A = this chain, B = another copy of it.
Amino acid sequence: MTREFSRMLLVLPEIKELLRQNKKEQLKKIFYDYEPIEIVEILKEFSLKDKVFLFSLLDIDLAADIFEKTDKDDQLTLLGAFDKTRKAEILDEVAPDERVDFFEQLPEEMVLRFLSIMEEEEAQDVRELMRYDKNTAGGRMTTDFAQIEKGISVEQTLKDLRKTAKDLEMIYYIYIVDRTDKLLGVVSLKDLIVAQPEREIDEIMHTKLIAIPINMDQEQVAKRIARYDFLALPVVDKEGKIKGIITVDDLIDVIREEDTEDMYKFGAAGKHIDNYMSTTPLSVARHRMTWLLILVVTGFISGTIMEEFSFALKNVVSLAFFIPLLMGSGGNAGTQAASVVVRGLAIGEVKLGDIWRVVRKEFLIGITVGTALGILALLRALILQKSSLLGITVGLSMIATVTVATCLGAILPIICEKLGLDPAVVSGPLITTVVDISSLLIYFGIATQLMEFG
C-alpha cells in the first residue's frame, strides 16, 4: 500500500498498453491513484501528443494540479499543444501563485495573449499579482484563501466554507475581514470544529495577528513563518487589508532556494541557475568567471609580494617550501570561521550586535588552533631543514596567520551584513585569497626580522 517513489514508474508499461488500446476510463482511473508530482514524473516518459491526450482525460482540477508541478520549460510546450478551451481552463484553474511564476518568465505579448482567453476575474488576479516583486511577500503569496465578513455564526461559516472549500488552496485558516477587506482576525478550522455552532465568529477569532507586509523580502518572510508554527500567514497592504496568504509549503521552497543561493555564494560559484543539469557548460562558465577573475587579479598581488622579497628567497630557497602550508592553513582556518558566521547570520544564531563577542571568541579560537599548528610546523621545519631559525620563523608565522585568518573569516561576513550586503559573498575562495596576501606579508615580515639575508 505504501510505496517508494521509484516503484511508481512500474506502472509505465500498463499505461502504455492501455494507451495503445485506447482504454480511456482505465487510464483515467490509474492517474487518480497517484499524486500530481508523481504523474509529472510518469508523463515525462511520453510524447507530447500522448501527454496532451492523457491530460484531456483528466478532470480540470487534477489537470491543473499536474500542470502546476510540471517543469517551467515543459509548461509552455504543453500549453501550446492544448486546444483553446483546455488552455483557458487550465490557466483559469491553476493556483494563482504558480500561475504568476509561469507568466513571469514569458514575453509580454504572450502574457497578453494568454490573459485575453482567461476569465476576467482570473486575468485581473494575474495582473495584480504581477505588480509585486517576485522575491517579496506579494510575489510569493496566493490569493486562494478563505475569507469571511465578521458578524456571522460558526455554523454559517462552516456552511459557507463547505461551498468554497473545493477552490481554495488552504482552508485551515479562515480570515475575518470588515467591509473594506481590512483584516480583523483569524480562526482555524480546528477552532471552528471545536466551537459551539451558534457562537459568533467575532467572539472566537484571534485578533492579535502575525501578518506580513506585502513588500517584505522573502527571506524575512521565511524567517518569520519558521519562527511561528503556523501553516500560513496573511499578507496585508499598508492599510491592513488582506491581499493574500503565504503557506508553509511555499516557505519550504524559499528556504531551499535561499540556502542554495548561500551555498553558491559561499563557493563563489555565481548565481544558482534554474537547474544545473540542464544549463550549458558555457553558461555555467560565464557565471563562475566573474569571481575567478576578481580572485586572479587579487592573486597577482601575492606574486608581487614574493617579487618584493625575492632577495630572501634567493638566499634561503627553503623559505619557499613553507609557503603552501602557511597559505593553505590560513585559508582553511579562515574558511571555517566564515562558514560558521555566514550560516549563523542566516539562521539568526549570530546577530549584528554580537560583532565584538564574535571577534573575541574567534581570536581565542585562532590563537589556540594557530599555536597547535605552529608547533607542528616548527617541528617539521626542524626535522627536515635542520634550521632552528627557519623553524621559529615558520612556527610564529603559522600562529599569526591562523589567528588573523580566523578573525578575518568571522569579521568580514558581519561587516557585509552591516553594509546591507549578503554575508555569504564572503566566500571560501574570497577568504582564501585575502588570507594568501596577509600570510605572505606576515611570513616575510617575520623572516626579515629574524633571519639575515645576504
Q: Footprint of B on A, CB under 8 Å? A: 1-3, 5, 33-35, 37, 158, 161-162, 165-166, 171-172, 183-184, 189-190, 193-194, 207-211, 224, 226-229, 231, 236, 240, 248-249, 251-252, 255-256, 259-260, 262-264, 266-270, 272, 275-277, 281-282, 284-285, 288-289, 291-293, 295-296, 299-300, 302-303, 306-307, 310, 313-314, 317-318, 320-325, 327-329, 331-333, 335-344, 347, 349-350, 354, 357-358, 361-362, 364-365, 368-369, 372-373, 376-377, 380, 384, 427-429, 432-433, 436, 440
Q: Which residues of B contact A162 (CB under 8 A)?
A: 193-194
A207: B residues at CB distance < 8 A: 1
Contact sample, A vs B, 24 pairs, CB 8 Å cutoff: A1-B183, A1-B184, A2-B211, A2-B236, A161-B193, A165-B190, A171-B190, A189-B193, A226-B252, A226-B256, A252-B252, A267-B339, A276-B341, A277-B354, A281-B361, A282-B368, A292-B329, A292-B373, A295-B328, A296-B328, A296-B376, A323-B324, A332-B429, A335-B427
Q: A331 to B364, alpha carbons, bound, how many Å? A: 27
Known interface pairs A193-B165, A306-B320, A325-B302. Does A365 touch B281 (Cβ–Cβ under 8 Å)?
A: yes
Contact of A166 among B161, B194, B307, B377 (CB under 8 A): B194
- A162: min CB distance to chain B, Å: 6
The 10 closest A-B CB pairs, nearest first, are A267-B339, A302-B324, A428-B428, A2-B211, A281-B364, A332-B429, A299-B325, A269-B336, A259-B259, A285-B368
What is the CA–CA distance of A210 and B226 in the complex, to the nearest angstrom?
Answer: 24
- Docked-complex contact B332 and A433, CB < 8 angstroms: yes
Contacts known (A35-B228, A165-B193, A248-B248); A264 close to B373, Cβ less than 8 A: no
Given A288-B365, A321-B310, A323-B323, CB of A263 within 8 Å of CB of B264: no
- Taken together as a complex, chains A and B put the C-alpha atoms of A108 and B37 apart, in Å, by 45
Interface residue from B33, B324, B339, B380 paired with A264 (Cβ < 8 Å): B339
* Nearest neighbor of A307 in chain B, beta-carbon distance: B321
Which of B255, B295, B318 touches A310 (beta carbons < 8 Å)?
A: B318
Chain B residue nearest to A159 in the complex (CB): B193
For A318, list chain B residues within 8 Å (CB): 307, 310
Distance, CA A34 to CA B269, complexed state (A): 42
The interface residues of chain B lying within 8 Å CB-to-CB of A165 are 190, 193-194
CB contact between A252 and one of B3, B248, B299 (< 8 Å): that residue: B248
Report chain B residues within 8 Å CB of A358. Answer: 277
Query: Once bound together, how far apart are the Cα atoms of A289 and B282, in whole Å?
Result: 39
Chain B residues near A252 (CB-CB < 8 A)? 226, 248, 251-252, 255
CA distance A302 to B373 in the complex (A): 16
> Which residues in B have their C-beta under 8 angstroms from that of A34?
208
A14 to chain B, nearest CB (A): 15
Contacts of A329 in B (CB 8 A): 292, 295-296, 299
CB-nearest residue of chain B to A172: B172
CB pair B332–A240 under 8 Å, yes or no, is no
Shortest distance between the CB of A175 and any CB in chain B (Å): 12
Residues of the B chain whose Cβ atoms lie less than 8 Å from the Cβ of A284: 340, 361, 365
Please name all residues of chain B whose beta carbon is closer than 8 Å to the beta carbon of A240 when the two chains form the complex: 1-2
